[in-house]
């Protein structure tokens, strides 16, 4: 097996990586995603006129909860003591979009990219759930890591 496939053992089976010898560092990850709505649905969301209630508050709580549950959802993720999770929204009126950012932080031996990714995606899915009564063709897209810092590999910034 190739040495760079850290989640495979010498026989090609999956394994959880042993991070016990890695240094504890302050780690941070930010993931951004986009929820594309129709102009009508966007207006209802903006004006808090959707039948299920406050969409963004519900999505924020869902994203934070999801980030905290990442190790239960992704089989080879390490459970992490998260020091902070934040889910932020920006409304793009012109594009009828909700831009989501999920930021996760920890001090530990492995990164928090997966926690930020799961948090952003569940926040997006919650927006879909809260809006589906008025629109079924909502699109969730462009979910990507935009920042990572800490650890041996250093800082990553998305340049798009």
User: Angle at Cα 131 formed by Cα 138 and Cα 49, nearest 5°?
Assistant: 135
> In 3D, which of 14, 120, 22, 30 has the Cα closest to residue 66?
120
Q: Copy the structure tokens of residue 78.
A: 């390490």
> In 3D, which of 160, 44, 25, 24 has the Cα closest to residue 98?
44
> In 3D, which of 89, 155, 84, 142 has the Cα closest to residue 116?
84
Total number of residues shown for the chain: 160
H or E stretch covering 122: helix 113-131
The phi-psi region of residue 72 (left if phi > 0; otherwise alpha if psi is between -120 and 50; otherwise beta) is: alpha
Active site residues: 129
């Amino acid at each position: 097996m190739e040495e760079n496939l850290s989640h495979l053992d010498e026989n090609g089976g999956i394994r959880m990586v042993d991070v016990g010898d890695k240094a504890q560092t302050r780690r941070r990850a930010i993931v951004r995603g986009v929820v594309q709505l129709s102009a009508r649905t966007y207006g209802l969301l903006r004006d808090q006129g959707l039948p299920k209630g406050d969409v963004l508050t519900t999505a924020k709580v869902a994203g934070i909860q999801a980030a905290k549950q990442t190790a239960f959802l992704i089989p080879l993720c390490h459970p992490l003591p998260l020091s902070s999770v934040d889910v932020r929204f920006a409304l793009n009126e012109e594009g009828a979009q909700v831009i989501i950012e999920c930021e996760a932080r920890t001090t530990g031996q492995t990164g928090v990219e997966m926690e930020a990714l799961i948090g952003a995606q569940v926040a997006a899915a919650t927006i879909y759930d809260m809006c589906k009564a008025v629109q079924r063709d909502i699109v969730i897209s462009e979910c990507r890591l935009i920042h990572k810092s800490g650890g041996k590999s250093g800082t990553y910034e998305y340049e798009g």
